[in-house]
C-alpha cells in the first residue's frame, strides 16, 4: 500500500503546519519552498534520481580508499623524508596515547564519511529495487545522523592551514592522496546538494496508514 494521498507536512524548525501543495498544471510544480513563518527550507524536489545518487556515492566510496591510504604529502626535513596519509596521521595520535582525540578525528574524517556514503549507496539501491525492505528505513536514518559528523571540508581546509605552517620549515611535495581527497570532498558536497531525504522517505512503503 503506497501513500497516494498528499500529506500534511510541518516545518522542522518551527513546527508550522503546511498544507499539501497540489499544483493544477505541471508547469506550476515548484522545486523548492520555504516556510512562511521562519524562512527555513521546507523541501526541494529531487533534481535527480536515486540512481544518480547511487552512482555518485559509489564514486565517492572508491575515492575514499586512496584518499585515506595514499600520502597526502611528503615532507623533507633534516635529510629525511616523511610521507603521511590521512589514516597514518590518525593512527599516530592513537599510538602516542591520545585515544580520545584520535577517535574523534577518526570519526569525523574517515568513519562518518565512509559510513554515510555506504548507507546512502545502500538506501539508493533499495529505494530503486526494494522499497519494501525494512533496511531502507535504517539506512536513511543512518545517513541523517552520520552526515552531522562527516567533516571532509573542514579537514581539507585544515590541511591547507597545516601546509602553510610547514612550507616555511621544510620541503613539501603534495601526494596522490590529496588529489583523491579533494575529489572526494567535491563529490561528497555534490551528493549533499542533490540528495533529498524526503524524496527517499516518500518511496518507503507504509503499512496501515493513508
Partner 1 sequence: MESAKNNGLARCHECGLVCRFQPNSQCPRCDAKLHLRQPHSIQKTWAYLITACIFLIPANFMPITLLVSQGKATPDTIMSGVYALIDEGSTGIAIIVFVASILVPLAKIVGIMIILVSIHFRLKISHKLRLLMFKFIDWIGRWSMLDLFVISIMVAVIDKGQLLVIVPGPAATAFALVVLLTLLAAKNFDTRLMWDMEEDNDWTN
CA distance 1 to 127: 15
Q: For residues 16 and 103, which CB has a smaller minimum distance to Zn ion in the complex?
A: 16
Residue spans of alpha helices (H) in 70-196? 86-95, 99-106, 112-129, 134-147, 152-167, 176-194
Instruction: Tell whether residue 108 is a contact of partner 1 (CB under 8 A).
Output: yes
> Counting contacts by CB under 8 A, is residue 174 touching partner 1?
no
The single residue among 10, 29, 65, 192 that binds partner 1, judged by CB under 8 A, is 10
**Which residues are CB-contacts of 163 (< 8 A; sequence separation ≥ 6)?**
73, 172
Handedness of CA 100, 106, 109, 111 (dihedral sign): negative
> In Å, what is the CA distance from 122 to each residue of 57, 132, 149, 165?
9, 14, 19, 40
Q: Give 55: exposed, middle or buried? Use CB within 10 Å, 0-12, 13-18, 19+.
A: middle
Q: In this structure, are residues 41 and 9 in contact, taking their beta carbons and an 8 Å threshold?
A: no
Measured from the CB of residue 75, what is the shortest distance to partner 1 in angstroms? 5
Rule CB under 5 A: choose which of 14, 65, 91, 101 binds Zn ion: 14
Stretch that binds partner 1, among 46-54, 62-70, 95-103, 178-186 (CB under 8 A): 95-103
Minimum CB distance to partner 1 smaller for 75 or for 117: 75
Q: Is 95 exposed, middle or buried (0-12, 13-18, 19+ CB in 10 A)?
A: exposed
Question: Which region, judged by CB under 5 A, interacts with Zn ion, from 16-24, 64-72, 109-117, 191-199?
Answer: 16-24
Site for partner 1 in 111-140 (CB under 8 A): 137, 140
Look up residue 108 and give its DSSP letter.
Answer: I
Stretch that binds Zn ion, among 3-11, 68-76, 93-101, 124-132 (CB under 5 A): 3-11
Q: Of these, 2, 7, 22, 179, which contacts partner 1 (CB under 8 A)?
A: 7
Q: How far is the CB of 193 from Zn ion (least distance, A)?
A: 21
Residues at the interface with partner 1 (CB under 8 A): 7-10, 12-17, 37-40, 72-73, 75, 77-78, 80, 82, 84, 88-90, 92-93, 96, 98, 100-102, 104-105, 108-109, 137, 140-141, 144, 148, 151, 154-155, 157-159, 161-162, 164-166, 168, 197-198, 201, 204, 206-209
Amino acid at each position: 500500500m503506497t501513500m497516494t494521498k498528499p500529506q500534511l507536512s510541518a516545518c522542522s524548525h518551527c513546527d508550522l503546519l503546511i498544507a499539501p501543495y497540489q499544483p493544477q498544471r505541471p508547469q506550476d510544480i515548484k522545486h523548492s519552498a520555504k516556510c512562511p513563518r521562519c524562512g527555513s527550507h521546507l523541501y526541494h524536489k529531487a533534481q535527480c534520481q536515486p540512481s544518480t545518487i547511487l552512482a555518485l556515492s559509489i564514486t565517492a566510496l572508491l575515492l575514499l580508499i586512496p584518499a585515506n591510504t595514499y600520502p597526502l604529502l611528503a615532507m623533507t626535513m633534516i635529510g629525511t623524508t616523511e610521507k603521511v596519509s590521512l589514516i597514518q596521521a590518525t593512527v599516530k595520535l592513537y599510538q602516542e596515547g591520545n585515544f580520545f582525540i584520535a577517535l574523534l578525528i577518526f570519526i569525523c574524517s574517515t568513519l562518518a564519511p565512509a559510513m554515510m556514503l555506504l548507507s546512502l549507496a545502500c538506501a539508493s539501491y533499495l529505494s530503486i529495487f526494494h522499497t519494501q525492505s525494512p533496511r531502507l528505513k535504517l539506512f536513511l536514518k543512518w545517513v541523517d545522523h552520520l552526515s552531522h559528523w562527516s567533516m571532509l571540508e573542514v579537514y581539507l581546509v585544515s590541511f591547507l592551514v597545516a601546509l602553510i605552517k610547514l612550507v616555511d620549515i621544510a620541503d613539501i611535495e603534495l601526494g596522490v592522496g590529496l588529489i583523491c581527497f579533494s575529489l572526494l570532498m567535491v563529490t561528497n558536497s555534490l551528493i549533499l546538494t542533490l540528495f533529498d531525504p524526503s524524496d527517499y522517505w516518500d518511496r518507503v512503503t507504509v503499512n496501515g496508514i493513508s
